[in-house]
């Protein structure tokens, strides 16, 4: 019996484990903030929609918007790094299909802090802190946000890559 258990344990230990990405989500103010900081760098968002999200994030809700219309903000992958050694080093790489955008300094810091507030966890790696997500999708319903009842912004993502 012991030999069977040992063999089973060895087989399990030798079997490659498939890593699965943990899913996460954010709603309300954290989701609106995350969509707003990502939207300003996305080539997929129409300039009009970018201005709408910026106005909402700024607190300006005194404008009309087409009923039953939502704005989507999505990123295929996002990897942000902050060095624990070189405290001036911070960067984010955003991937929108075949287009990549690399941000540094204040712009990267805004995304890093907002992502943390939205529940995107960071992991330590050799002198740096790394936040990594894929399939980040935010949906903003401007008309619902304008009601000021806490709704209208939702984001979902897969942690890690």
Per-residue pLDDT of 45-103, as tens digits, reads: 999 999 999 999 999 998 888 888 999 999 999 999 999 999 999 999 999 999 999 99
Helix axes 28-39, 105-117, angle to 10 degrees: 160
Task: Return the structure tokens found at 9.
Answer: 């344990």
Among 20-24, 37-41, 105-109, which stretch is predicted with the lowest mean pLDDT?
Answer: 20-24
15 falls within a domain: no
Alpha-carbon span 56 to 110, nearest angstrom: 17
- Does residue 11 lie within any of the structural domains? no
Residue 19 has pLDDT above 80, yes or no: no
Query: Model-level pTM?
Result: 0.83
Contact 121, 159 (CB under 8 A): yes
Specify the number of domains making up the chain.
Answer: 1
pLDDT at 13 over 60: no
Query: What is the residue range of 102's domain?
Result: 22-159
Ramachandran region of residue 64, left (φ > 0), alpha (ψ -120 to 50) or beta?
beta
Rounded to whole angstroms, the Cα distance separating 148 from 37 reads 20
Let me know if residue 32 belongs to a domain: yes
Asked whether residue 5 is assigned to any structural domain, the reply reads: no
- The Cβ-side half-sphere exposure at 146, using a 13 Å CA radius, reads 17
């Amino acid at each position: 019996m012991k030999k069977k258990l040992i063999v089973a344990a060895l087989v399990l230990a030798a079997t490659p484990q498939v890593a699965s990405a943990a899913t996460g989500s954010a709603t309300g103010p954290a989701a609106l903030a995350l969509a707003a900081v990502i939207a300003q760098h996305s080539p997929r968002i129409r300039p009009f929609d970018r201005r709408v999200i910026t106005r909402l994030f700024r607190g300006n809700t005194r404008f009309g918007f087409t009923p039953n219309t939502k704005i989507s903000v999505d990123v295929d992958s996002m990897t942000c790094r902050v060095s624990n050694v070189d405290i001036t080093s911070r960067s984010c790489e955003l991937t929108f299909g075949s287009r990549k955008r690399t941000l540094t300094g204040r712009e990267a810091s805004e995304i890093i802090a907002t992502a943390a507030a939205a529940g995107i966890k960071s992991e330590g790696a050799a002198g740096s802190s790394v936040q990594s997500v894929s399939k980040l999708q935010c949906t903003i319903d401007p008309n619902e946000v304008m009601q000021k009842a806490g709704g209208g912004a939702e984001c979902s993502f897969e942690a890690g890559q």
